[in-house]
Amino acid sequence: MARYIFITGGVVSSLGKGLASAALGALLQARGYTVRLRKLDPYLNVDPGTMSPFEHGEVFVTDDGAETDLDLGHYERFTGVAARRTDSVSSGRIYSNVLEKERRGDYLGKTIQVIPHVTNEIKDFLSVGADEVDFQLCEIGGTVGDIEGLPFFEAIRQFAQERPRGQCIFMHLTLLPYVAASGELKTKPTQHSVKELRSIGIAPDVLVCRSEHPIPEKEREKIGLFCNVRKESVIAAYDLKSIYEAPLAYHREGLDQAVLDAFGIAPAPKPNLARWHDVNERLTHAEGEVRVAIVGKYVQLEDAYKSIKEALTHGGMANKVRVKVEWVDSEVFDREDPAPYLEGYHAILVPGGFGERGTEGKIKTAQFARERGIPYLGICLGMQLAVIEAARNVAGFKTAGSEEFDHEAGKRRFEPVVYHLKEWVQGNHVVERTVTDDKGGTMRLGAYTAALVEGSKVAEVYGASRIEERHRHRYEVDTKYREALEDKGLCFSGMSPDGRLPEIVEWKDHPWFIGVQFHPELKSKPFAPHPLFADFVRAAVETSRLV
């Protein structure tokens, strides 16, 4: 049976619970254990799929088609363990399941209550896969005291109570604010956070304290005394230059040892941290720098493109260069020429997105990259807009556009080079969709296979003829325009196995111009950079040498 580590947070949100969970998972792996990381979110959305990136950052998609929290991206990047649908749940999903059971009559006429029905549903979720790994790390979203999080806290309290002694521990993240006027770190917020946690029946075994300054020994003793935690289990979490320093930083602070001590595992296996020393070596000893522009419409919130930024960092590590990512608002180009803004960059990336806002600026960006010979990577909508640009400016379809924008406007204005996807093959059955379907969970989601054209740039990059990548889209490039576009040099170099859905396009006579319908950034890791990003950065390095 797996041992369980429940990670909670207090004082303020965004302290880095997801990163701490991911780093701890990596450290346990380094000691030879198998791990699974999971996220329990208190919000009432069934999943983050219908949320704006401004609300919740990017949506991370799993191989089996779940739309999940961006923290699952951290989990995958740090451990290499592919997340699954059963690794993410929200209050919305829990309540939805409970109400569906009530409608079916599963509760045999009982009055449905938070305790025991909602908490039992949460415990059932926690029990999934209990015999598959050595450790399950379960992060509870939000902070202790949030009213919507109370059922989750009660459920993990019950869960730990019902398991044999020593099978579950609690790790709590708090903030130690520094008051400049007095020159002191203040422990009171941490004390109050732990007091709140203890009031609902949970006593933390390990405290991780986020701080901008070193924690003096005297303060550690004070925290340990007032929070009823061993001094050695008060772990400092300092700000780092890179998130990939976290495993080594937490190891130096003794986090993995404190966790193993809390479980009574002694003697503990020695860690092999060679992988993380190599990652940090590549990060800190870069041999150059390239500038990459991400042209999007959610640039005010970097978390909207979290996986893309990290995948570019991984691509830089593969080429031993530092990638300086700069965010460019595509809406500016709706009104202005992109050339003055983009001329200094060595490569351009246009990411996915939804809606018409900012798309004309992205089309101009694709045109700039095509005409100037600048490396271009278009992802999802970034690919579709590159095709629209080619259709308008090269193939002569002056009103080329996407049905998505016509549906949004409520009238037809464009020739639909990109259309609403009505059916596709998933496994051994056909999925059908209509424009009027519910928005949540109805896109083409998860891992699908693509067949690559022999001799194409992408076949060379991947070193394969078939690949599997993760998707999240409901609009698709129409193959009836394929012949006209290929006559002008835009090669459809990757297709679905049945030949009906374009997966990849590339310009034959361009140094590096590739658009992909899928999201390669979701599978990139610091110790295994995605081949597309590694080669994209390599092309940027080539461009930097020519400038």
**DSSP annotation string for 381-410:** HHHHHHHHHHHHHTS--TTEEEHHHHHHHT
Question: Is pLDDT of 451 > 90?
Answer: yes
- What is residue 108's predicted lDDT score, i.e. its pLDDT? 85
Sign for the pseudo-dihedral over CA of 252, 256, 259, 263: negative
Q: Which residues of 266-292 are buried (b: 16+ CB within 10 A; e: fewer)?
A: eeeeebebeebeebbebbeeeeeebbb
pLDDT surpassing 90 at residue 41: yes
Please name which of 398, 324, 332 lies closest in space to residue 362, comparing C-alpha atoms.
332
Average pLDDT score over residue span 344-364 = 92
* pLDDT greater than 70 at residue 381: yes
Instruction: pLDDT band for 57, please (50, 70, 90 cuts).
Output: confident
Domain boundaries, the chain: 3-279, 287-546
Q: Looking at the predicted structure, is the pLDDT value of residue 521 above 90?
A: yes
525 appears as a binding residue in the annotation: no
Residue 547 pLDDT class (50, 70, 90 cuts): low
16 is in an annotated binding site: yes
pLDDT at site 367: 96
pLDDT band at 426 (very low <50, low <70, confident <90, very high): confident
Cis check for the bond before 416: say yes or no (omega within 30 of 0).
no
> Is 13 annotated as contributing to ligand binding?
yes
473 is annotated as an active-site residue = no
Q: Which CATH class is domain 287-546?
A: alpha beta
17 assigned to a ligand binding site:
yes
Query: Does 300 have pLDDT greater than 80?
Result: no
* Predicted confidence (pLDDT) at residue 210 exceeds the cutoff of 80: yes
What average pLDDT does range 173-183 have in this prediction?
89
Residue 209 annotated in active site: no
Residue 49 marked in a binding site: no
According to the model, what pLDDT value does residue 104 have? Answer: 92
pTM for this prediction: 0.93
Average of per-residue pLDDT across 323-336: 91
Residue 514 counted as an annotated binding residue: no
Same CATH topology for 3-279 and 287-546?
A: yes
Annotated catalytic residue: which of 251, 473, 519, 530?
Answer: 519
Mean of pLDDT values over 272-292: 94
DSSP summary character for residue 217: H
Digit-coded pLDDT (tens) for 146-160: 999 999 999 999 999
Q: Is the pLDDT of residue 333 over 80?
A: yes
Given 154, 380, 389, 473, which residue is catalytic? 380
pLDDT greater than 90 at residue 83: yes
Is residue 191 marked as binding?
yes
- What pLDDT is stored for residue 468 in this prediction? 96
Residue 137: the pLDDT is 97
CA distance 43 to 65: 20
pLDDT at position 302 is 78
Q: pLDDT digit string (tens) for 179-203?
A: 888 888 899 999 999 999 999 999 9
State the fold for domain 3-279: Rossmann fold (3.40.50)
Percent of the chain with pLDDT over 70: 100
> What's the chain's average pLDDT?
93
What is the mean pLDDT of the segment spanning 164-174? 95
Q: Is 380 marked active-site?
A: yes
Going through 212-360 in order, the beta strands assigned E by DSSP cover 234-238, 289-296, 322-329, 347-350
Name the most confidently modeled range: 136-140, 163-167, 337-341: 136-140
Can the peptide bond before residue 214 be classed as cis, meaning omega within 30 degrees of 0?
A: no
Which one from 58, 74, 521, 530 is the annotated catalytic residue? 521
CA distance 14 to 18: 9
> Is 14 part of any known ligand binding site?
yes
pLDDT per residue over 6-35, tens digit each?
Answer: 999 988 887 889 999 999 999 999 999 999
Number of H helices, E strands in the chain: 20, 25
Residue 524 pLDDT > 90 = yes
Per-residue pLDDT averaged across 78-93, rounded?
95
